Amino acid sequence: MQENENMSHEHDNDEHHDHAHDDNDTIEHTHEHDDDEHHAHAHHEEGFIRKYIFSLDHKMIGKQFLIYGLIMLFVGGGLALLFRWQLAYPETPELEGGKPAKAAKPLPIIGPSQKYIDDGEVVTRADKMWERIFDSDKAEFLEVNMPSGFIEPHFYNMLFTMHATIMVFFVVVPILVGAFGNFLIPLMIGTRDMAFPVLNMLSFWLAVLAAVVMAAGFFVPGGHASAGWTGYAPLSVDPQWTGVNWGLNLWAISLLIQGFSSLVGSINYITTIINMRAPGMTWLRLPLVIWSLFIVAILLLLAFPVLSSALALLIFDRLAGTTFFTSTAEGGGSALLWQHLFWFFGHPEVYILILPGMGIASELVAVFSRKPIFGYRSMVYAMIAIAFLGWVVWGHHMFQSGMRPGMGAFFMTTTMLIAVPSAIKTFNWLGTMFRGSIRFTTPMLHAIAFVSMFVIGGLSGIYMANTPVDVYIHDTYYIVAHIHYVVFGGSLFAIFGGIIFWFPKMYGRYMNDTLSKIHFWLTFIAFNCTFFPMHILGVGGHMRRISNPMQYEYLQTFEGMNLFITMSAFTLGFVQLILVFNFVWSIYRGKVAEKNPWNVNTLEWEAPTPVPHGNFAQIPNVYRGPYEYSVPGEESDFIPQAQPEHAPASAGD
Amino acid sequence: MTENRPFSNAKLGVLILLGAETMLFVGLIGAFLVFRMGNVTWPPLSHVDIRLPNLLTGFNTLGLIISGFTMFLALRAVQQDRIKQLRILLMITGVLGLLFLVVQGREWVQLIGKGLTLQSGIYGGIFYVLIGCHAVHVLGAVIWLAIIIGMAVTGKFSSVRYTGVETCTIYWIYVVALWPILYVLVYLA
């Protein structure tokens, strides 16, 4: 800290690299710098609060979003592990033709010992805790939701609802759009900051507020929202049906706040990309990740307000006594309306979750194949096509809602059309790798995992798009497998790859490669062990969102598979600690990285490392497309976008 | 940034915001249409005796449209450096906006008195939510305009510095243009 203080005073050189500042990112200290007056400097120093908390710098806001998303990733993952435990060790009742009866197993660590369950004898510390909890008059959180370490059905509902809500709205979008968008957009288009830095800060702090409101929902009487992350009406409308009162209100309010955060963020992104590109950075010289973030910002801008309108109507229903989503005989509303509004937002949202992953994968695949991206234009047009088609497929979430078969056929066709641009992208990635000099760095491994897992998730999607097939597999674990192959196998692998790839630019150091590789392989194996068997469960008729499948005789055969999935899920969860350890350790102790460690063309690598306030000493001129790797006749196998002279016909253009 | 951009950041930001606003209203109008089509009679049988004040609202609509026109003239005034006219036109616009809100508020009080409330089925519910959502936007625009008037009075604008007036005009005209659609849908159709 002392070092930090000293450095801020000897600061007037624009080229100055101060590791100590970026290194102290996560550390709290209360020094107030006395140099707030130095605003005249192009690259002035700011006090701790302005630099690390209420920062206006896009790089810091990006890092804040990253840390925020990673924290929420563990919250959301923890919830998943809780309900996976319940699925692995549920109570098996005696059923005709089924397995012999078996008692449920309490949660590890917080669960009491068998002795305590049998005869109330206090043996372990957990027993002591439960003794105290049962003796107290207050209805404590643990007692209400998981008495003696057994997850109550109502708590199970809460867990899967909040797992999905947190993962979608508080992990994947904040990291992909919030973190990568903020960090990369100004750097890659060659400008000093976002168009509206104050709105940018507002966007982050609204997201924090939303997270706090969402977290508070667990502790209100009645518990948190438990109508599924889709909040289907009429289940979500009347507290008497789920027993949840303020939990669901807070859920809706939190998502409204998150909507404002997204709105502000997307206005910022779109304006920045349209108006602030460096000279020469034409639309078709934009890196694909920026294209993906641009398209996603438009989707967020247009999709989220629809959810906001639905949430507003829901809140009116719950608090003001309207009947928008309850069908009554006369003058009543329509429960189906919720589904239409939700999925009109929800399907574009699905592409919001995957498109930036596609963008990141495109960067990584091109860089580490040392080849121009195959079919740059078709990549861009494919993303635009996906974004457009995303608006006309929402009905495929509602095949079983009693829609007219004709409508079903329409939505089936449009949904299957999406396979075309998706396949274009996949083949372009393969085409990029084909006969490239592939470097199997860890980011590249993640990118390849992204492509292959996305293909599996995409293919299972085509099955579900078929209305007749969907009749059979809807609402089963097949759907769960599909969404996780796309969002975990897709988005999260891209996120991990992106973090490792841009870490040297963010923190000026490499992440430890051995740890990264161990993390990658364990994640890849555990991920497939967790989610692949879910396809089989789904085809076997195992419905999702059920706390005890053992109550059905025909599902009792899946006991072993559920146990296997849970074991894999716990492995998957614990393996992520390697990433966190590596991340934090590398910020302080990682190998110091040079300016352009991966030999990349795009502009962010032109900026000094770590990137100073204002990014570039001088705004670069852009002379070529972003993917000129291994150009024949050139000495170097990469030609940075900002390098003038002897420009051969741009391969990416 | 060496090239000329057709829109300044602020102007572009407001235009993009309007995209989101449009989708918010698309959601609500969509809900309205679902209710409208889902009921054989509209208003539903339980509300046959309710008459929305079409005529009064028609005059109110006219007032709002005029305010859009005066707002536009205000923008023209500042572009041509007629600052005194700018102030007067902005104030006329603000008064018209307030008038719209006051008339609508009185309407609501009367309708509630007649028994049309938020709780009285979807007819009342969607009426108050949809029209109310627009009213909140008018209120927001009036507050924004008040700030702009304050800045105009203290001489913050000139023919080369008028981004504030311009962005406010865009938003104002959007809110004004939205209203006739709602009026036709909710009151007349």
pLDDT in tens, B87-103: 999 999 999 999 999 99
Tokens of A475: 């609402």
Structure tokens, B27: 């959601």
Torsion sign across C-alpha atoms A567, A572, A578, A584: negative
Other CB atoms within 10 A of residue A280 CB: 17
Give the C-alpha separation, A556 to A503, whole Å: 46
Contact (Cβ atoms closer than 8 angstroms) between residue A611 and residue A187 = yes
The pLDDT value given to residue A98: 83
Nearest to A194 by CA among A279, A277, A286, A263: A277
Token representation of residue A364? 């990584």
Query: Nearest 5°: CA angle at A580, between A575 and A584?
Result: 150
Distance in angstroms (rounded) separating the CA atoms of residues B141 and B67: 12
Residues of chain A with pLDDT under 50: 1-43, 647, 651-653
Mutual orientation of helices B9-38 and B163-182 as an angle, nearest 10°? 10
Confirm if A508 and A21 have CB atoms less than 8 A apart.
no
How confident is the model at residue B4, as a pLDDT?
A: 59
Cβ atoms of residues A18 and A32 within 8 Å: no
The pLDDT value recorded for residue A60 is 95
Dihedral sign for Cα atoms in the order A221, A226, A229, A232: negative
Class of domain A58-88+150-589: mainly alpha
Both tokens of A243, joined, read: 């027993």
Which chain B residues are closer than 8 Å to A341 by Cβ?
A: 27, 30-31
Q: What is the DSSP letter of A646?
A: -
ipTM at complex level: 0.94
Q: Which residues of A touch B1 (CB under 8 A)?
A: 191, 276-279, 619
All structural domains of chain A with their residue ranges: 1-39, 58-88+150-589, 114-145
Q: What distances in angstroms separate CA A193 from CA A62, A187, A278, A458, one per listed residue?
A: 12, 8, 12, 36
Q: Evaluate the omega torsion of the peptide bond into residue A234 and state whether it is cis, within 30 degrees of 0.
A: yes
Measure in Å the smallest separation between the Cα of B89 and chain A Cα atoms: 30
Give the pLDDT of residue A29: 40
- What is d(CA B81, CA A605) in angstroms, rounded to the nearest whole number? 46
pTM of the predicted protein model: 0.91
- Rounded Cα–Cα distance for residues A322 and A314 (Å): 9
* The predicted structure's pLDDT at residue B86: 95
* DSSP for residue A171: I
Each residue's pLDDT tens digit, B13-65: 999 999 999 999 999 999 999 998 888 888 888 787 888 999 999 999 999 99
> What's the whole-number average pLDDT of chain B?
92
Chain B residues in contact with A323 by the CB 8 A cut-off are: 121-122, 125
| Mutation for testing the B interface, residue in A192, A261, A298, A309 having most B CBs under 10 Å | A309
Q: What's A651's DSSP letter?
A: T
**SS3 assignment, position A476:** strand
Q: What is the pLDDT of residue A521?
A: 97
Q: How far is CA A499 from CA A70, A283, A495, B167, in A?
A: 11, 25, 6, 38
- pLDDT given for residue A139 in this prediction: 80
Residue A30: CB atoms within 10 A of its CB come to 7
> In order of start, what are the domains of chain B with their CATH numbers?
10-188 (1.20.120.80)
SS3 B52: coil
Q: Supply A250's token pair.
A: 């807070």
pLDDT of residue A330: 62
Cα angle at A156 between A155 and A157, to 5 degrees?
90
Quickly tell me which residue has 């305010």 as its tokens: B67
Three-state DSSP state, A102: strand
The answer to whether A305 and A259 have CB atoms below 8 angstroms apart is yes
- Out of A266, A308, A332, the one facing B121 most closely (by C-beta) is A332
- State the pLDDT at residue A36: 37
Q: Write the Ramachandran bin of A639: left for phi over 0, alpha for psi from -120 to 50, otherwise beta.
A: beta
Q: Cα–Cα distance between A280 and A572 in angstroms, integer?
A: 45
Cα–Cα distance for residue pair A544/A537, rounded to 1 Å: 10
Q: Pick from B16, B34, B119: which is nearest to A321 by CB? A: B119
Q: Which among B23, B24, B34 has CB closest to A337?
A: B34
| A302: helix, strand or coil | helix
Mutate to test the interface with B, among A271, A281, A328 (most CBs of B within 10 A): A271
Q: Which pLDDT belongs to residue A234?
A: 87
Backbone angles phi, psi at A476, to 5 degrees: -115, 180
Q: Does B62 contact chain A (CB < 8 Å)?
A: no
Q: What is the pLDDT of residues A294-314, one digit of tens each?
A: 999 999 999 999 999 999 999
- What is the per-residue pLDDT across A9-36, written as a single tens digit (0 to 9) for each? 434 333 344 443 443 333 334 343 433 3
Whether the bond into B180 is cis, omega within 30 of 0: no
- Can you name the residues that pair with A592 across neighbouring β-strands? A509
* A298 contact residues in B (CB cutoff 8 A): 19
| Spatial distance between the Cα atoms of B174 and B168, rounded to a whole number of angstroms | 10
Residue with tokens 């009921």: B39
* Among candidate residues A377, A418, A376, the one with its CA nearest the CA of residue A396: A418
Task: Look at B31 and A313 and tell me if their CB atoms are within 8 Å.
Answer: yes
By C-alpha distance, the chain B residue nearest A313 is B129
Best probe of the A interface among B28, B42, B120, B131, by most A CBs < 10 A, is B28
Taking CA–CA distances from B21, the nearest residue in chain A reads: A305
Residue B4, chain A, CB below 8 Å: the answer is no
Q: At A574, phi and psi to the nearest 5?
A: -70, -30
